[in-house]
Structure 1
Amino acid sequence: MKILAVLCGLLLGISVSWAQSVNLAKQTIRGRIVDAQSKFPLIGVNVVVLNADPVIGTVTDVQGYYTLQEVPLGRQTLRVSYMGYKEQVVPNVMVTSGKEVVLNLELVEQVIKGAEVVITAKPNKTITNNEFASVSSRSFNLEETGRYAASRNDPARMAANFAGVAANNDDRNDIIIRGNSPSGLLWRLEGINIPNPSHYGSLSASGGPISLLNYNLLDKSDFMTAAFPAEYGNALAGVFDLQLRSGNSQKHEFLGQIGINGLEVGAEGPISKKSRASYLASYRYSTLGVYKEVGLNFGTGSATPEYQDLTFKIDIPISESGRFTFFGIGGKSNVDLINSNEDVDVIYGNSFTNDYADYKTGILGLSHQYYFNSTFYYKLSLSASRQEEHLYRDSLSLVDQTPIPAGKADYINNKYSAHLLLNKKFSARDNVSGGAILDLYDFDLSNRRLVPGQERINRDVDGQSLLSQTYIQWQHRFSNTLTLNTGVNYQQFEVSNSKVIQPRAGLQYDLSDRQTLGLGYGQHNQIQPLDIYFVQTVLPGGTVAETNRNLDFTNSQHFVLSYEYRIATNLRLKAETYYQKIDAAAVEKHPSSFSLLNAGVDFEPINVDSLVNSGEGENYGIEFTLEKFYSKGYYFLFTTSLYKSHYKGSNNEWHSTAFNGGYIANLLGGKEFKIGKKNNTFSVDGKFTTSGGNRYTPIDYARSAQLGYEVHQDDLAYSKSLKQYVRADLKLSYRINHRGSTHEFALDLQNITNRQNEFARIYNPRSNTVQTQYQIGFFPVPQYRITF
Structure 2
Amino acid sequence: MLLLVHYNDVVAQSTQTIRGRIVDEVTQTPLVGVSITITTSTDKLLGTITDAEGNFRIDNVPVGRQILKITYVGFQEQTIPNTVVTAGKEVVLNVSLVENVNNLNEVVVTGDGKEDKTATNNDLAVVSARSFNVDDTKRYAGALGDPSRMAANFAGVIGGDDSRNDIVVRGNSPTGMLWQLEGLNIPNPNHFGALVSTGGPVSILNNNNIDKSDFMTSAFPAQYGNATAGVFDLKLRDGNNQQTEFIGQVGFNGFEFGAEGPFKKNSDASYIVNYRYSTLAIFNALGMEFGTGSNIPYYQDLNFKISLPSSGNGKWTLFGLGGKSEIDLLGSEAEIEGDDDLYGDANADAYPRYQTGIVGLSYETNLSDKTFAKFTAGISSTEENWHSDSLVRNQDNIVIGKHLEGEAKFTTTKYSVNFLTRTKFSAKNSITSGVTVDAMQFGLYNREAYANLGRDTVRLDVDESATLFQGFSTWRHRFNNNFSVNTGVHTQYYTLNEQWAVEPRVSVQYIVNPKHSLSLGYGLHHQVQNITTSFMQTKTLTGPILTNKDLDFTRSQHYVLTYDWNVTPNSRLKAEAYYQNIDKAPVEAHRSSFSALNTGASFGPVDEDSLVNNGTGTNYGIELTLERFYNRGFYYLVTTSIFDSKYKGSDGIERNTAFNTGYVLNVLAGKEWKIGSNGKFFSVSLKVTTIGGKYLTPVDVARSQQYQRTIYKDGQAYSDKQDPYFRTDLKLSYRKEYKRSTLEIAMDLQNVTNNQNVFSQNYNVKTNSTVTQYQQGFFPVPFVRFTF
Deviation at 1:48, TM superposition (A): 0.8
Partners of 2:77 and 2:107 within 8 A in 1: no
**8 A Cα contact 1:174 1:207, kept in partner:** yes
Residue in 2 that maps onto 1:79: 69
Aligned to 1:405: 404
Q: Are 2:102 and 1:102 aligned?
A: no
In structure 2, distance between residues paired with 1:497 and 1:738:
62
The correspondence of residues 1-20 of structure 1 with structure 2, limited to 5 A, is 15=5, 17-18=6-7, 20=9
Q: Which position in structure 1 is the counterpart of 2:28?
A: 39
Query: What's the secondary structure of 1:699's corresponding residue?
Result: coil
Q: Equivalent residues in 2 for 1:186-265 (5 A)?
A: 186-265=178-257
State the match for 1:327 in structure 2. 319
Stretch of structure 1 that moved more, 341-350 or 134-143: 341-350
Query: Match for residue 720 of structure 1?
Result: 720
- State the SS of the aligned residue for 1:373: coil
CA distance in structure 2 between the partners assigned to 1:313 and 1:19 by the alignment: 32
Among candidates 306, 310, 316, match of residue 318 of structure 1: 310
Partner of 1:644: 644
Structure 2 partner of 1:454: 455
Does the alignment pair 1:161 with 2:153? Answer: yes
Cα shift at 1:274: 3.7
Partner SS for 1:31: strand
Q: Match for residue 328 of structure 2? A: 336
Paired with 2:107 and 2:494, the residues of 1 have a C-alpha distance of 48
Corresponding position of 1:490:
491
Structure 2 counterpart of 1:24, from 5, 13, 28: 13
1:351 is aligned to 346
1:708 Cα deviation after fit: 2.6
Q: Which moved more, 1:394-403 or 1:639-648?
A: 394-403
C-alpha contact 1:120 1:514 (8 A) present in aligned 2: no
Q: What TM-score, normalized by structure 2, do the two folds share?
A: 0.97
Deviation of residue 398 (structure 1)?
Answer: 7.4
> Following the alignment from structure 1 to structure 2, what is the Cα–Cα distance between the partners of residues 559 and 258?
44
Please tell me whether the aligned partners of residues 394 and 405 of structure 1 are also in contact (alpha carbons under 8 angstroms): yes
CA contact (8 A) 1:161 1:639 kept: yes
Does structure 1 residue 56 correspond to structure 2 residue 51?
Answer: no
Deviations 1:452-485 (A, max 9, x none): 2102100110111001101101111111001111
**AA of the residue aligned to 1:655:** R
8 A Cα contact 1:722 1:760, kept in partner: no
The match for 1:143 among 127, 135, 143 is 135
Alpha-carbon separation, structure 2, partners of 1:687 and 1:546: 48
The residue aligned with 2:434 is: 435
Distance in 1 of aligned mates of 2:11 and 2:291: 41
Amino acid at match of 2:42: A
- Give deviations 1:395-422, integer Å, cap 9, x for gaps: 1247876322110000000011110111
1:120 positional shift: 6.3
Question: Does the 8 A contact of 1:398 with 1:766 survive in 2?
Answer: no
For structure 1, which segment, 758-767 or 292-301, has the greater mean C-alpha deviation from structure 2 after superposition?
Answer: 758-767
Cα pair distance change 1:424/1:272, threshold 3 Å = farther
Distance in 2 between the 1:143 and 1:336 partners? 34
Please give the secondary structure, in 2, of the residue aligned with 1:600. Answer: coil
> Which segment is superposed worse, 145-154 or 757-766?
757-766
**Paired amino acid for 1:433:** T
Q: What letter matches 2:466 in structure 1?
A: S
Once the 2 structures are TM-superposed, how far is the Cα of residue 350 of structure 1 from its aligned partner? 2.2
Q: Does 1:627 align with 2:619?
A: no
Partners of 1:771 and 1:624 in 2: how far apart? 37
Q: Which residue of 1 aligns with 2:390?
A: 395
Distance change in 2, residues 1:29/1:118 (3 Å)? closer
Name the CA distance, whole Å, in 1 between partners of 2:746 and 2:11: 20
Matched-pair contact (CA < 8 Å) for 2:102–2:480: yes
Displacement after TM superposition at 1:19 (Å) = 7.6
Aligned to 2:418: 419
Residue 370 of structure 1 deviates from its aligned partner by 1.4
Task: Give CA deviations for 1:198-237 in whole Å, capped at 9, x if unaligned.
Answer: 0000012100000000000111110000000001001111
- TM-score between both structures, scaled by the size of structure 1: 0.97
What residue identity is the alignment partner of 2:418? H
Deviation at residue 425 of structure 1 after TM alignment: 0.7
1:731-742 aligned within 5 A = 731-742=731-742
Q: What is the CA distance between 1:14 and its match in structure 2? A: 5.4
- Amino acid corresponding to residue 362 of structure 1 in structure 2: G
Match of 1:130 among 122, 140, 147: 122
**1:634-713 alignment to 2 at 5 Å?**
634-713=634-713
1:67 alignment partner in structure 2: 57
Give deviations 1:510-556, integer Å, cap 9, x for gaps. Answer: 112200101000011111111111111011x2421011000110000
Native 8 Å contact 1:119 1:514 kept in 2:
no
- Aligned AA for 2:231? V
The whole-number CA distance in structure 2 between the counterparts of 1:481 and 1:228 is 21
Q: 1:216 is paired with a residue of what secondary structure?
A: coil
Letter in 2 for 1:544: P
Return 345-354 or 307-316, whichever deviates more: 345-354
Say if 1:263 and 1:191 are closer, same or farther in 2 by CA, change over 3 A.
same
Cα RMSD of the aligned pairs, angstroms, is 1.4
One-letter code aligned to 1:227: A
**Alpha-carbon offset, residue 18 of structure 1:** 4.5
Distance, in Å, in 1 between the alignment partners of 2:429 and 2:319 is 32
The aligned counterpart of 1:601 is 601
3-state SS of the aligned residue for 2:781?
A: strand
Q: Which moved more, 1:726-735 or 1:390-399?
A: 390-399
Alignment partners' CA distance in 2, 1:375 and 1:283:
40
Cα distance in 1 between the residues matched to 2:43 and 2:79: 18
Partners of 1:26 and 1:287 lie apart in 2 by 34
Quote how far apart the aligned CAs of 1:52 are: 3.3
Q: Which residue of the partner structure matches residue 4 of structure 1?
A: none
State how far apart, in whole Å, the 1-side matches of 2:232 and 2:656 are: 26
> Counterpart in 2 of 1:7?
none
Asked whether the equivalents of residues 308 and 331 of structure 1 are also in contact (C-alpha less than 8 Å), the reply is yes
Q: Which residue of 2 aligns with 1:583?
A: 583
Which amino acid is 2:226 matched to?
Answer: N
Residue 125 of structure 1: SS of its match in structure 2?
coil
Question: Which of 180, 197, 209 is residue 172 of structure 2 equivalent to?
Answer: 180
Secondary structure of the residue that 1:394 maps to in structure 2?
strand
Q: In 1, Cα distance between the equivalents of 2:67 and 2:531?
A: 48
Aligned equivalents of 2:693, 2:378: Cα separation in 1: 39
CA offset digits 1:751-773 (Å, max 9, x no partner): 11111111111112344421111
Deviations, residues 263-310 of structure 1 (Å, cap 9, x unaligned): 001000012444411010010011111101110011111111000011
Structure 2 counterpart of 1:32, one-letter code: R
One-letter amino acid of the counterpart of residue 35, structure 1 = D
Q: Which residue of 1 aligns with 2:557?
A: 557
Q: State the secondary structure of the residue aligned to 2:327.
A: strand
Give, as a single letter, the amino acid of the residue that structure 2 aligns with 1:589.
Answer: A
Structure 2 letter corresponding to 1:295: G
Q: Could you tell which deviates more after superposition, 449-458 or 655-664? A: 449-458
- Residue 702 of structure 1 deviates from its aligned partner by 2.6
The separation in 2 between residues aligned to 1:120 and 1:338, in whole angstroms, is 56
CA–CA distance in structure 1, aligned partners of residues 635 and 751 of structure 2:
21
AA aligned to 1:474 is W
Residue deviations 1:420-445 (CA, integer Å, cap 9, x gap): 11111111111101111001111111
Equivalent residues in 2 for 1:469-488, closer than 5 Å: 469-488=470-489
1:302 aligns to 2:297 (yes or no): no
